[in-house]
Structure 1
Amino acid sequence: MSTFRIGGDLEVNRLGYGAMQLSGKGVFGDAVDRDNAVAVLRAAVAAGVNFIDTAEAYGPRYNETLIKDALYPYAPGVIVATKGGFDRPGPGTWVPNGEPAVIHSQIEGSLKRLHVNTIDLWQLHRIDPKVPVEETLGPVVEAVAAGKIRHVGLSEVTIEQIERAEKVLPIVSVQNRYNLGDRQWEEVLDYTTRRNMAFIPWYPLASGPQKLEDKIGAIAARHKATTAQIALAWLLKRAPNILLIPGTKSVDHLAENMRAAEIELSDEEFAELS
């Protein structure tokens, strides 16, 4: 499996795991089947995953605790990235909150729940339009200086927002929605590639609009693969700085996703899908 160095020093396999689906309905509450959730997380690490994506907002908070319960003490080289910056008043409800006191509290909470002294990658889940990002990032700067955060990333941002945040502190990753059928953030992806920042697409398994189905199906048949595996393989070929975090509640589906790393699309197949 190919690797990427986040921030130049955190080497991770490019096919990781996103833990959001292990939360309750509406990404609210604890896992419905906690034993299964623990088994999926352990199977992911056993399969070679060393980059796991979570957030304070997943649950909220339950997801981080689940990861700690399943994986602590963490195997050498396993990176758990988390995020902050949302209020979760109820299932399916997400309210950006960039107030400095909230960000500070969420960072401290994540450290305790994950049972770590340093969060290797902390990402601002959303920029709050009501709070200047410079103020939101104040507690993050303090946490970095105190050794509580190693690297910082952003989520769902424009190039302009990345550059504004970089006037406050270095940014090493961007987590925007991106997949074979939804390429709204193409320009941001290309920007991060030039800058050697990690680009972590969320919702990576979407295979695209109806018009792509026949093409994907033919290529999948050629590789004896599933549509989802081809969607992931396309992303891995799209740019060397893409880190994938497909999520699943199934150990079998996890194994299927992992096999995407073995699929090498030809330049012709890539161009056909692109």
Structure 2
Amino acid sequence: MTASTFRIGGELDVGRLGFGAMRLPTEPGPAREGSLAVARRAVELGVTLIDTAYLYGWGANEELLAEALHPYPEGLLITTKVGLTRSESDPGWRFDGRPAILRDQVERALLRLRVERIELLQLHRIDPETPLAEQLGALRELQDEGKIGHIGLSEVTVDRLEQARAIVDVASVQNRYNLLDRAHDPVLAACEAAGIAFLPWHPVAMGEAGTNAEIAAVAAESDATPSQIALAWLLDRSPVVVPIPGTASMRHLEENVAAARIRLDPAQRARLDRLADPATGADREAATR
């Protein structure tokens, strides 16, 4: 039977279906009010992990979550990410893992989230221009000061994960991964072997899941939506997987949370497993090293 919880870093118990706050509008007005309502509803529905980042509105998303949920209920984990700064060029951000920048971003996140400690702080991207030991060393210093509980990474290869683990304890990895995009299968395998939480972003493959005939067929058999099947497959894929689907829609939020109750039978799982070539993930992983 699929486990319903996972203990991140051996300490932080969370439900295995989280919520990604990236899509929540933060501008004043009705859309923001809707965002506040969606965040609160996520917690009402039992979500215990909410993912945000400095990049999401350059801190505005963190402020939104604090407005919606502070004082935070016991057991709620809000994780944020640092390591990117604004840029005038496309895509509007750039890597910046210099220790002073990381420290400043963490200090500001503490203020925006209205907490004294960020229980799970993730490095949004590894800065290729700053030595990895300096980036992780800065986060380890903040950890030693009690401002960070656990350290996570985002968009890393197996090699980078191994290098990072030689410097700090890595509690989580957040990579793009879903039923139709399994490029990071090797990273997931490494996380499973080490007991590291794997938080797939883009977990439902957006509109692709709805146009795939096999996913649609399994959805019809299960009285579910294609998005729910994509999430159910992820939950069944590995006990370390904690998907973080994001939405600004109350209906989609409730639909996503309900996916945790879906159970795929062995035949359905086999059909879905065949949708991606197992070799593809390994080939693409090797190409990014």
TM over 0.5: yes
* Matching residue of 1:5: 7
Structure 2: how far apart are the matches of 1:170 and 1:73? 29
| Comparing 212-221 and 152-161, the one that deviates more | 212-221
For the Cα contact (< 8 Å) 2:25–2:31, is it kept in 1?
Answer: no
2:129 matches 1:130: yes
Q: 1:250 to 1:207 in 2, by over 3 A?
A: closer
For the Cα contact (< 8 Å) 2:198–2:240, is it kept in 1?
Answer: yes
* Matching residue of 1:242: 241
For the Cα contact (< 8 Å) 1:22–1:31, is it kept in 2?
Answer: no
* Matching residue of 2:276: none
User: Deviations for 1:192-242, whole angstroms, at most 9, x for unmatched residues?
Assistant: 011110000000011686898111111101111000000000000000100
Structure 2: how far apart are the matches of 1:59 and 1:111? 16
Q: Return the letter of the residue paired with 2:22.
A: M
For the Cα contact (< 8 Å) 2:178–2:205, is it kept in 1?
Answer: yes
Structure 1: how far apart are the matches of 2:174 and 2:188? 10
* Matching residue of 1:269: 268
- Structure 1 segment 44-193 matched on structure 2, within 5 A: 44-89=42-87, 92-193=91-192
Q: TM-score, normalised by structure 2?
A: 0.89
Structure 2: how far apart are the matches of 1:178 and 1:229? 15
Q: 1:242 to 1:256 in 2, by over 3 A?
A: same
Structure 1: how far apart are the matches of 2:161 and 2:231? 26
Q: Return the letter of the residue paired with 1:273.
A: L
Structure 1: how far apart are the matches of 2:36 and 2:7? 27
Q: Return the letter of the residue paired with 2:241.
A: I
* Matching residue of 2:284: none
Structure 2: how far apart are the matches of 1:116 and 1:61? 14
Q: 1:162 to 1:32 in 2, by over 3 A?
A: farther
Displacement of 1:89: 2.9
Q: 1:204 to 1:210 in 2, by over 3 A?
A: closer
Displacement of 1:262: 0.6
Structure 1: how far apart are the matches of 2:221 and 2:96? 47
Q: Return the letter of the residue paired with 1:13.
A: G
Displacement of 1:23: 4.0
Displacement of 1:33: 1.4
* Matching residue of 2:280: none
Displacement of 1:92: 4.5
* Matching residue of 1:251: 250
Q: Return the letter of the residue paired with 1:47.
A: L
Identify unmatched segments of 5+ residues in structure 2.
274-289
Structure 1: how far apart are the matches of 2:94 and 2:30? 24
Structure 2: how far apart are the matches of 1:69 and 1:141? 29
Q: 1:186 to 1:83 in 2, by over 3 A?
A: same
Q: How many residues get paired?
A: 270
For the Cα contact (< 8 Å) 1:31–1:37, is it kept in 2?
Answer: no
Structure 2: how far apart are the matches of 1:199 and 1:184? 14
Q: 1:83 to 1:116 in 2, by over 3 A?
A: same
User: Deviations for 1:25-64, whole angstroms, at most 9, x for unmatched residues?
Assistant: xxxx678711100000000000000100001111010000
Structure 2: how far apart are the matches of 1:208 and 1:251? 18
Q: TM-score, normalised by structure 1?
A: 0.94
* Matching residue of 2:21: 19
For the Cα contact (< 8 Å) 1:23–1:32, is it kept in 2?
Answer: no
Query: Which secondary structure does the structure 2 equivalent of 1:272 belong to?
Result: helix
